[in-house]
Copies of this chain bind each other. A is one copy, B any other.
Amino acid sequence: MHFPGMPAPLARVVEMFSTLPGVGPKTAMRLGLNLLTRPAGDAAALATALQLLHEQVGFCECCGCFAEQGHCHFCDDPLRDAATLCVVEQPVDVLMMERGHGYRGCYHVLLGRLSPVDGIGPEQLRFAALDRRLAAGGIDEMILATSATVDGEATAHYLANRYRDAGITVSRISRGVPEGGELEYLDEHTLSRAVDQRVAWQRRAGV
């Protein structure tokens, strides 16, 4: 999107913004203009925050979660249940899990999922680190929380197979109707799986 007479410093900001996901040229322009018309301190504060982002945030060597200055929020926490390990694809998945407030175990982030088409095999993911954690002992259950996509499901099956003889319980997060979901708007695969994996609430006498 070219605007004749647009100052180059504004054009650079707009160009950078438009590389972000879901931000088209028009939105990028609106964001750039917004920062230009607000007090100079606002753009400077965002600039500083962005500068520090990569300097201060890394990945935990043990679990692969986001880590600030080497310290991971979860591996360091003595109140978390170290015997339960939830395996996810990305650090953001950990943040999503934590929003639920229910899970109190530890995590292992693969930093991706198996995808032969994209050349991503076990070597490209954090399986070696997972092997070491299991070999170190103390883990009773591994919860497979990879995504409910074809690749995510394949990754879960690979994990179950890889640790078949590790002497641990391996479980997969349930599939079904999402909270608040109305049957009218569900896709047929979700609905048929929800019926297949129905949970018994009462059993008739004698069964």
Contacts and interface: CB of A to CB of B under 8 A. Distances in A.
Interface of A: 3-10, 12-13, 16-17, 19-23, 27, 30-36, 40, 42-57, 65-68, 73-74, 92, 94-96, 98-99, 101
Copies of this protein in the assembly total: 2
Contacts of A16: 42, 45-46, 49
B57 A51 contact: no
16 contacts: A3-B95, A3-B96, A3-B99, A5-B94, A7-B56, A7-B67, A9-B52, A9-B68, A10-B66, A16-B42, A16-B46, A36-B54, A43-B51, A44-B51, A46-B47, A50-B50
Nearest to A32: B53
A118 to B, nearest CB: 16
B35 A44 contact: no
Contacts of A6: 66, 95
Nearest to A40: B54
A34 B20 CA distance: 7
Contact of A27 (B8, B22, B43, B46): B22
A86 to B, nearest CB: 13
Contact of A31 (B7, B20, B99): B20
A11 to B, nearest CB: 9
A21 B36 CA distance: 13
Given A9-B53, A47-B47, 20 more contacts: A4-B98, A5-B73, A5-B94, A7-B56, A7-B57, A7-B67, A7-B68, A9-B49, A9-B55, A9-B68, A13-B46, A13-B49, A16-B42, A22-B27, A22-B30, A32-B53, A36-B66, A43-B51, A46-B50, A50-B50
